[in-house]
Amino acid sequence: MLEHGVKFSGMPAWGAKDRPDEVRRMVAFVRRLPMMSAREYRLLAGSNALGVGAANGRFDSCAGCHGTDGLGRGQGDIPVLAGQDPAYLAAALEAYATGQRQSAVMGNAAAQLTPQERVALAQRFAAMPGIAPGRGGNRDAAARRIVERGLPDRQLPACRSCHDAAGTRRFPVIDGQRAAYIAGRLRHWRGAKEVVDARKDQATMPVIARRIPTDMIEPVARYLAGE
Ligand code: HEC
Ligand code: HEC
């Protein structure tokens, strides 16, 4: 219902196409509201929900979700910004603002920023200690193989051929990113099963994400996260 708006109530449709995952999270949040303690509400909604920090400028509104340390306040679906490449973060904000990257949550937040604010906030979060190349890794041999060497028989390139452990920074850092967020992005790039091939997104990451065996999405995400 939230996805398409509520009839006669004036409630608009969800602000992003193609993000049923965001709608599901919002519904889960609303369902839990009656039983929620004030502390849990603040944690889930961010300090902004109580008006705290509104006077302290843009950074506080971001920190409500991303934390003042850019680590995402312990929420699995919120990406770690700390330590990420600043140019990548600024580009992501621009893509949200123009709607090229669909997210109702971030679309609203980014659209309110000037281009200068986008760059300044990206630099501020990126400069914090956080994710770093080489932070990934665990004992899962199959996940390790995909990350380090790829699967030639499926034409799946090694993740490391672009996201290298030395951090040459031409691509976003994914080592030490949250597993739930990585898995969520990969699933979103794969798209719905029903969509015919010709209509699927042919950009680099959507093509790569579709070549990862379905049962390897979670292990690869956990391997990169180092969880
Ligand atoms: C209501 C919570 C919330 C607020 C407020 C918020 N964010 Fe986000 N942010 C998210 C979520 C959730 C995502 C992941 C969205 C997706 O799936 O693409 C995200 C993603 C991002 C990304 C992309 C990271 C990546 O690795 O691709 C950047 C950059 C970002 N946020 C910066 C900001 C900045 C700067 C602000 C303040 C102006 C802000 N966010 C405010 C929740 C929030
Ligand atoms: C040919 C180069 C290339 C290869 C190989 C590659 N990626 Fe990517 N990856 C990219 C680019 C470019 C982006 C940025 C996409 C964007 O901004 O839309 C990206 C972004 C990502 C992100 C999003 C990071 C964030 O902060 O939101 C994840 C997760 C990711 N890649 C995972 C993987 C995994 C897992 C593999 C291996 C199975 C892989 N990538 C292989 C080029 C590559």
User: What percentage of the chain reaches a pLDDT higher than 70?
Assistant: 81
Q: What is the pLDDT along the chain (227 residues), one digit of tens a residue?
A: 456 655 555 666 777 778 878 877 766 666 665 666 665 655 555 444 444 433 357 999 999 999 999 999 999 999 999 999 999 999 999 999 999 999 989 999 999 999 999 999 999 999 999 998 888 899 999 999 999 999 999 999 999 999 987 777 789 999 999 999 999 999 999 998 888 888 888 999 999 999 999 999 999 999 999 99
What span, in angstroms and rounded, lies between the C-alpha atoms of 189 and 201?
8
63 within ligand 1 shell (Cβ under 6 A): no
Distances (CA, A) of 116 to 97, 105, 120: 13, 20, 6
Among 95, 101, 120, 117, CA closest to 185: 101
CB-based contact 61:53 (threshold 8 Å): yes
Domain ranges across the chain? 2-126, 141-225
What confidence tens digit (pLDDT) does each residue in 53-90 have? 333 579 999 999 999 999 999 999 999 999 999 999 99
Write down the residue that tokens 């509520």 correspond to.
6
Domain 141-225 superfamily per CATH: Cytochrome c-like domain (1.10.760.10)
Q: Calculate ∠ Cα 76-104-210, nearest 5°.
A: 65
Using the mean position of ligand 1's atoms as its centre, give its distance from the Cα of residue 107 in Å: 9
Per residue, the 3-state secondary structure of 123-153, as one string, reads HHHHCCCCCCCCCCCCCCHHHHHHHHHCEHH
- Which atom of ligand 2 sits closest to the CA of residue 211? 38
Position 44, amino acid:
L
CB-based contact 23:3 (threshold 8 Å): yes
220 within ligand 1 shell (Cβ under 6 A): no
Residues whose beta carbon lies within 6 Å of some atom of ligand 2 = 79, 146, 157, 159, 161-163, 171-172, 174, 177, 182, 185, 204-205, 208, 212, 220
Q: CATH topology of 2-126 equal to that of 141-225?
A: yes
CATH code of 2-126, in short, is 1.10.760.10
